[in-house]
Chains A and B, each alone.
Chain A
Amino acid sequence: DGGITQSPKYLFRKEGQNVTLSCEQNLNHDAMYWYRQDPGQGLRLIYYSQIVNDFQKGDIAEGYSVSREKKESFPLTVTSAQKNPTAFYLCASSKTTSGNTGELFFGEGSRLTVL
Protein backbone atom coordinates (compact mmCIF):
# COMPACT_ATOMS: atom_id res chain seq x y z
CA ASP A 1 0.00 0.00 0.00
CA GLY A 2 1.15 3.52 -0.71
CA GLY A 3 1.87 5.84 2.14
CA ILE A 4 4.32 7.89 4.12
CA THR A 5 6.80 6.31 6.48
CA GLN A 6 8.45 8.28 9.25
CA SER A 7 11.25 6.95 11.37
CA PRO A 8 12.09 6.66 14.12
CA LYS A 9 8.76 6.86 15.93
CA TYR A 10 10.48 7.84 19.18
CA LEU A 11 13.85 9.50 19.54
CA PHE A 12 15.80 10.76 22.50
CA ARG A 13 18.78 13.04 22.21
CA LYS A 14 21.04 15.01 24.44
CA GLU A 15 21.26 18.76 24.25
CA GLY A 16 23.77 19.93 21.67
CA GLN A 17 23.29 16.97 19.35
CA ASN A 18 21.89 17.11 15.86
CA VAL A 19 19.29 14.52 14.92
CA THR A 20 17.78 13.56 11.56
CA LEU A 21 14.20 12.41 11.12
CA SER A 22 13.43 10.31 8.09
CA CYS A 23 10.39 10.70 5.83
CA GLU A 24 9.81 8.47 2.81
CA GLN A 25 6.75 8.37 0.54
CA ASN A 26 5.77 5.98 -2.23
CA LEU A 27 2.73 7.94 -3.38
CA ASN A 28 4.62 9.61 -6.24
CA HIS A 29 3.70 12.96 -4.74
CA ASP A 30 5.59 16.04 -5.79
CA ALA A 31 5.22 18.14 -2.65
CA MET A 32 6.40 17.25 0.84
CA TYR A 33 6.13 19.08 4.15
CA TRP A 34 7.41 19.02 7.70
CA TYR A 35 5.24 20.20 10.56
CA ARG A 36 5.90 20.57 14.24
CA GLN A 37 3.08 19.89 16.69
CA ASP A 38 3.04 21.04 20.29
CA PRO A 39 0.09 20.61 22.67
CA GLY A 40 -2.55 23.25 22.07
CA GLN A 41 -0.56 24.84 19.24
CA GLY A 42 -1.89 23.05 16.20
CA LEU A 43 0.51 22.37 13.36
CA ARG A 44 3.27 24.77 12.43
CA LEU A 45 5.08 24.50 9.12
CA ILE A 46 8.85 24.06 9.29
CA TYR A 47 9.87 23.47 5.67
CA TYR A 48 8.25 22.37 2.46
CA SER A 49 9.42 21.19 -0.94
CA GLN A 50 7.48 21.24 -4.16
CA ILE A 51 10.12 19.65 -6.36
CA VAL A 52 13.36 17.74 -6.07
CA ASN A 53 16.40 19.84 -5.15
CA ASP A 54 14.24 22.76 -4.04
CA PHE A 55 12.66 23.65 -0.72
CA GLN A 56 11.32 26.70 1.12
CA LYS A 57 11.23 27.81 4.71
CA GLY A 58 7.97 27.68 6.55
CA ASP A 59 6.92 29.65 9.60
CA ILE A 60 9.40 28.18 12.07
CA ALA A 61 12.47 27.10 10.07
CA GLU A 62 15.12 28.40 12.47
CA GLY A 63 17.20 25.58 13.90
CA TYR A 64 16.09 23.08 11.26
CA SER A 65 17.45 21.96 7.90
CA VAL A 66 16.13 19.73 5.11
CA SER A 67 17.18 18.21 1.81
CA ARG A 68 15.24 16.88 -1.16
CA GLU A 69 17.65 14.84 -3.25
CA LYS A 70 15.02 12.30 -4.26
CA LYS A 71 11.32 12.68 -4.91
CA GLU A 72 10.49 10.01 -2.32
CA SER A 73 12.59 11.36 0.53
CA PHE A 74 12.52 14.54 2.62
CA PRO A 75 14.64 14.18 5.77
CA LEU A 76 14.55 16.81 8.51
CA THR A 77 17.57 17.61 10.66
CA VAL A 78 16.94 19.19 14.03
CA THR A 79 20.12 21.04 14.81
CA SER A 80 21.61 22.06 18.13
CA ALA A 81 20.55 25.62 17.26
CA GLN A 82 16.90 24.72 17.79
CA LYS A 83 16.21 26.07 21.27
CA ASN A 84 13.22 23.93 22.15
CA PRO A 85 13.27 20.81 19.98
CA THR A 86 11.13 18.50 22.10
CA ALA A 87 7.97 18.03 20.03
CA PHE A 88 5.98 15.75 17.77
CA TYR A 89 7.09 16.04 14.14
CA LEU A 90 4.82 15.23 11.24
CA CYS A 91 5.76 14.70 7.63
CA ALA A 92 3.15 15.09 4.90
CA SER A 93 2.90 15.01 1.15
CA SER A 94 0.51 16.22 -1.51
CA LYS A 95 0.11 15.39 -5.15
CA THR A 96 0.16 18.74 -6.84
CA THR A 97 2.71 21.43 -7.24
CA SER A 98 0.66 23.86 -9.28
CA GLY A 99 -1.74 25.19 -6.75
CA ASN A 100 -1.95 23.76 -3.28
CA THR A 101 -5.23 21.93 -2.83
CA GLY A 102 -4.55 21.23 0.82
CA GLU A 103 -5.12 17.50 0.53
CA LEU A 104 -2.29 16.25 2.63
CA PHE A 105 -1.29 12.70 3.42
CA PHE A 106 0.47 12.39 6.77
CA GLY A 107 2.95 9.99 8.25
CA GLU A 108 2.46 8.67 11.77
CA GLY A 109 4.89 11.14 13.28
CA SER A 110 8.16 11.12 15.18
CA ARG A 111 8.31 12.14 18.81
CA LEU A 112 11.60 13.79 19.71
CA THR A 113 12.57 14.26 23.34
CA VAL A 114 15.64 16.21 24.32
CA LEU A 115 17.11 15.17 27.65
Chain B
Amino acid sequence: AQSVTQPDIHITVSEGASLELRCNYSYGATPYLFWYVQSPGQGLQLLLKYFSGDTLVQGIKGFEAEFKRSQSSFNLRKPSVHWSDAAEYFCAVVLDDKIIFGKGTRLHILP
Protein backbone atom coordinates (compact mmCIF):
# COMPACT_ATOMS: atom_id res chain seq x y z
CA ALA B 1 0.00 0.00 0.00
CA GLN B 2 1.10 3.55 -0.62
CA SER B 3 2.41 5.17 2.53
CA VAL B 4 4.38 8.09 3.88
CA THR B 5 6.63 7.54 6.86
CA GLN B 6 8.02 10.17 9.16
CA PRO B 7 10.20 8.10 11.49
CA ASP B 8 10.61 10.75 14.18
CA ILE B 9 7.55 11.66 16.23
CA HIS B 10 9.45 14.31 18.21
CA ILE B 11 12.73 16.09 17.56
CA THR B 12 14.44 18.58 19.85
CA VAL B 13 17.17 20.91 18.66
CA SER B 14 18.83 23.95 20.12
CA GLU B 15 18.14 27.35 18.66
CA GLY B 16 20.72 28.09 15.97
CA ALA B 17 21.45 24.42 15.31
CA SER B 18 20.79 22.70 12.01
CA LEU B 19 17.72 20.59 11.43
CA GLU B 20 16.82 17.61 9.30
CA LEU B 21 13.37 16.00 9.33
CA ARG B 22 13.01 12.69 7.58
CA CYS B 23 10.33 11.54 5.18
CA ASN B 24 10.13 8.31 3.21
CA TYR B 25 7.44 7.13 0.86
CA SER B 26 6.66 3.74 -0.52
CA TYR B 27 5.60 3.70 -4.14
CA GLY B 28 7.18 2.67 -7.41
CA ALA B 29 6.70 5.92 -9.27
CA THR B 30 7.85 9.38 -8.24
CA PRO B 31 4.98 11.22 -6.63
CA TYR B 32 4.50 14.92 -6.09
CA LEU B 33 6.10 15.66 -2.70
CA PHE B 34 5.30 18.31 -0.12
CA TRP B 35 6.16 19.57 3.31
CA TYR B 36 3.58 21.40 5.39
CA VAL B 37 3.96 23.11 8.77
CA GLN B 38 1.34 23.45 11.49
CA SER B 39 1.60 25.81 14.45
CA PRO B 40 -0.38 24.77 17.55
CA GLY B 41 -4.12 25.11 17.08
CA GLN B 42 -3.74 26.30 13.51
CA GLY B 43 -4.18 24.94 10.01
CA LEU B 44 -1.37 23.71 7.81
CA GLN B 45 0.80 25.92 5.63
CA LEU B 46 2.71 24.75 2.58
CA LEU B 47 6.49 25.05 3.07
CA LEU B 48 7.70 23.64 -0.24
CA LYS B 49 6.92 21.20 -3.00
CA TYR B 50 8.66 18.97 -5.53
CA PHE B 51 7.10 18.03 -8.83
CA SER B 52 10.09 17.39 -11.09
CA GLY B 53 13.45 18.84 -12.10
CA ASP B 54 16.06 20.01 -9.63
CA THR B 55 16.00 17.64 -6.67
CA LEU B 56 16.89 20.36 -4.16
CA VAL B 57 13.96 22.67 -3.63
CA GLN B 58 13.77 25.87 -1.67
CA GLY B 59 10.79 26.84 0.39
CA ILE B 60 9.56 29.57 2.66
CA LYS B 61 11.06 30.47 6.04
CA GLY B 62 14.54 29.32 4.98
CA PHE B 63 13.63 25.64 4.58
CA GLU B 64 14.83 23.36 1.83
CA ALA B 65 14.25 19.73 0.95
CA GLU B 66 16.09 17.20 -1.16
CA PHE B 67 14.43 14.47 -3.17
CA LYS B 68 16.47 11.27 -3.39
CA ARG B 69 14.86 8.77 -5.72
CA SER B 70 17.20 5.93 -4.75
CA GLN B 71 16.17 6.26 -1.11
CA SER B 72 12.51 7.22 -1.72
CA SER B 73 13.13 10.13 0.60
CA PHE B 74 12.28 13.80 0.75
CA ASN B 75 14.02 15.17 3.85
CA LEU B 76 13.45 18.69 5.09
CA ARG B 77 16.40 20.78 6.23
CA LYS B 78 17.19 24.14 7.73
CA PRO B 79 20.73 25.32 8.49
CA SER B 80 19.85 27.30 11.60
CA VAL B 81 16.55 27.00 13.44
CA HIS B 82 14.75 29.80 15.21
CA TRP B 83 12.45 29.51 18.21
CA SER B 84 9.54 30.35 15.91
CA ASP B 85 10.17 27.13 13.97
CA ALA B 86 8.69 25.10 16.84
CA ALA B 87 5.70 23.41 15.22
CA GLU B 88 4.54 20.14 13.72
CA TYR B 89 5.78 19.25 10.27
CA PHE B 90 3.97 16.99 7.83
CA CYS B 91 5.31 15.32 4.74
CA ALA B 92 2.75 14.57 2.04
CA VAL B 93 2.65 12.89 -1.34
CA VAL B 94 0.19 13.00 -4.19
CA LEU B 95 -0.13 9.94 -6.30
CA ASP B 96 -3.02 8.96 -8.53
CA ASP B 97 -4.86 12.10 -7.41
CA LYS B 98 -4.77 11.02 -3.78
CA ILE B 99 -3.03 13.06 -1.08
CA ILE B 100 -1.37 11.01 1.64
CA PHE B 101 0.01 12.69 4.75
CA GLY B 102 2.61 11.36 7.12
CA LYS B 103 1.80 11.33 10.82
CA GLY B 104 3.93 14.35 11.53
CA THR B 105 7.09 15.28 13.41
CA ARG B 106 6.82 17.71 16.28
CA LEU B 107 9.81 20.03 16.51
CA HIS B 108 10.86 21.43 19.88
CA ILE B 109 13.43 24.21 20.14
CA LEU B 110 15.71 24.63 23.15
CA PRO B 111 16.73 28.20 23.96
Q: Which residues of A does B touch, CB under 8 Å?
A: 4, 6, 40-43, 45, 90, 92, 99-109, 111
B78 CB, nearest partner CB in chain A, Å: 21
Known: A43-B90, A102-B32, A111-B41. 7 other contacts (CB 8 A): A92-B44, A101-B32, A102-B34, A103-B46, A104-B99, A108-B43, A109-B42
Of the four ranges (under 10, 10 to 19, 20 to 34, 35 or more), the interface on chain B belongs to 20 to 34
B92 within 8 A of A: yes
Q: How far is the CA of A41 from the CA of B102 in the complex (A)?
A: 8
* A42 vs B101: C-alpha distance when bound (angstroms): 7
Q: Residues on B close to A: CB < 8 A?
A: 9, 32, 34, 36, 41-46, 49, 51, 90, 92-94, 97-99, 101-104
Check B90 against A42 for contact (C-beta < 8 Å): yes
Q: Do A41 and B99 touch (CB < 8 A)?
A: no
* Given A42-B101, A42-B103, A43-B101, A101:B45 Cβ within 8 A: no
